[in-house]
Amino acid sequence: MRLNVTVNGRPQEADDVWEGESLLYVLRERLGLPGSKNACEQGECGSCTVRLDGVPVCSCLVAAGQAEGREVVTVEGLADHAEQRSHAGGAHGTSLDEARQWQARGTDSQTGEGTRLSPVQQAFIDAGAVQCGFCTPGLLVAADEMLERNPNPSDADIREALSGNLCRCTGYEKIMDAVRLAAARQPEGV
């Protein structure tokens, strides 16, 4: 079947989609967006978390056909998403000018220096919340959405909001640090 879906603001079309394919498979294998990860494909790990019409969902549990005509935001579009939020005068965003203050300090070839990042992406780098990084895209989408709803989360709020995202490397401590950091860096009273 044919599928039309808007991903990260861009209309996309995929042909010959098998009816049993998940949105995750379509994103990864057909639309060239492998950022959303395939760790469990049973809704247990959150690595494939995307926003579907604004709502965080496990893209592995969305049948491709169910995404027809809908809007999807993936980790690849997170920086743009954050920028639009701040431009829209959204309640809690951080402008990218501000975000740039925390650009990665690394100076190595692989840093992707100069890449625009959302505040939560930057905070994950700065706090050491990334090890193997496989859980990171899903966590970023989930954490970004939580901060959008709840700019001043308690530790228990953060843990609850991220309880659907498994990480096997970090023991979550640095992830907690990263989300706290991203929350603290939000301009107050916007």
Partner 1 sequence: MPTNGVPTTLTQGSGTRGGIGESTLRPDGTLKVTGEFAYSSDMWHEDMLWGQILRSTVAHAEIVSIDTSEALATPGVYAVMTYDDLPADVRHYGLEIQDTPVLAHGKVRHHGEPVAIVAADHPETARRAAAKIRVEYRELPVITDEASALAPDAVLVHEHRDDHHIGHVPHPNVVHRQPIVRGDVASARERADVIVEGEYTFGMQDQAFLGPESGLAVPEEDGGVHLYIATQWLHSDLRQMAPVLGLPEDKVRMTLAGVGGAFGGREDLSMQIHACLLALRTGKPVKIVYNRFESFFGHVHRHPAKLFYEHGATADGKLTHIACRIVLDGGAYASASPAVVGNASSLGVGPYVVDDVDIEAIALYTNNPPCGAMRGFGAVQACFAYEAQMDKLAARLGMDPVELRQLNAMEQGALLPTGQPVDSPAPVAELLRRVKAMPMPPERQWESSEGADVRQLPGGLSNTTHGEGVVRGVGYAVGIKNVGFSEGFDDYSTARVRMEVVGGEPVATVHTAMAEVGQGGVTVHAQIARTELGVGRVTIHPADTRVGSAGSTSASRQTYVTGGAVKNACELVREKVLELGRRRFGPYHPAWATAELLLEGGKVVTDGGEVLADLVDVLGDEAVEVEEEWRHRPTEPFDLRTGQGNGHVQYSFAAHRAVVEVDTELGLVKVIELACAQDVGKALNPLSVIGQIQGGTTQGLGVAVMEEVLVDPKTAKVRNPSFTDYLIPTILDTPTIPVDVLELADDHAPYGLRGVGEAPTLSSTPAVLAAIRDATGLELDRTPVRPEHLTGTA
Partner 2 sequence: MDFLRPASWEEALAAKAEHPTAVPIAGGTDVMVEINFDHRRPEYLMDLNRIADLEEWEVGEKSVRLGASVPYAKIMEHLRAELPGLALASHTVASPQIRNRGGVGGNLGTASPAGDAHPALLAAGAEVEAESVRGSRRIPIDDFYTGVKRNALAPDELIRAVHIKKADGPQQYSKVGTRNAMVIAVCAFGLALHPATRTVRTGIGSAAPTPVRAGTAEEFLNAALEEGGFWDNGKIITPSVAKRFADLCAAACNPIDDVRGTASYRRHAVGVMARRTLTWTWESYRGAHRTTEGAA
Closer of 8 and 49 to partner 2 (Cβ)? 49
119 binds, among partner 2, partner 1, none (CB under 5 to 8 A by kind): none
Cα 84 to Cα 129: distance, rounded to the nearest angstrom: 25
For residues 76, 81, 83, 89, the Cα torsion angle rounded to the nearest 10 degrees is: -170
Closer of 42 and 110 to partner 2 (Cβ)? 42
Closer of 21 and 126 to partner 2 (Cβ)? 21
| C-beta of residue 135 within 8 angstroms of C-beta of residue 190 | no
Cα 132 to Cα 170: distance, rounded to the nearest angstrom: 9
Interface ranges with partner 1 (CB under 8 A): 18, 20-21, 28-29, 32-42, 44-45, 47, 74-76, 78-79, 104-113, 115, 117, 121-122, 124-126, 128, 130-137, 140, 156, 158-160, 162-176
Closer of 23 and 178 to partner 2 (Cβ)? 23
| C-beta of residue 35 within 8 angstroms of C-beta of residue 78 | no
Q: For 57, phi and psi rounded to 5 degrees? A: -140, 165
Cα 184 to Cα 36: distance, rounded to the nearest angstrom: 26
152 binds, among partner 1, partner 2, none (CB under 5 to 8 A by kind): none
User: Interior CA angle at 102 toward 53 and 81, to 5°?
Assistant: 15
Closer of 45 and 125 to partner 2 (Cβ)? 45
66 binds, among partner 2, partner 1, none (CB under 5 to 8 A by kind): partner 2
Residue 171 amino acid letter: G
Task: Give min distance, CB of 66 to partner 1, in A.
Answer: 18
Task: Give min distance, CB of 13 to partner 1, in A.
Answer: 18
Task: Give min distance, CB of 34 to partner 2, in A.
Answer: 17
28 binds, among partner 1, partner 2, none (CB under 5 to 8 A by kind): partner 1
- Minimal CA–CA distance to 157: which of 174, 127, 180? 180
Residue 142 amino acid letter: A
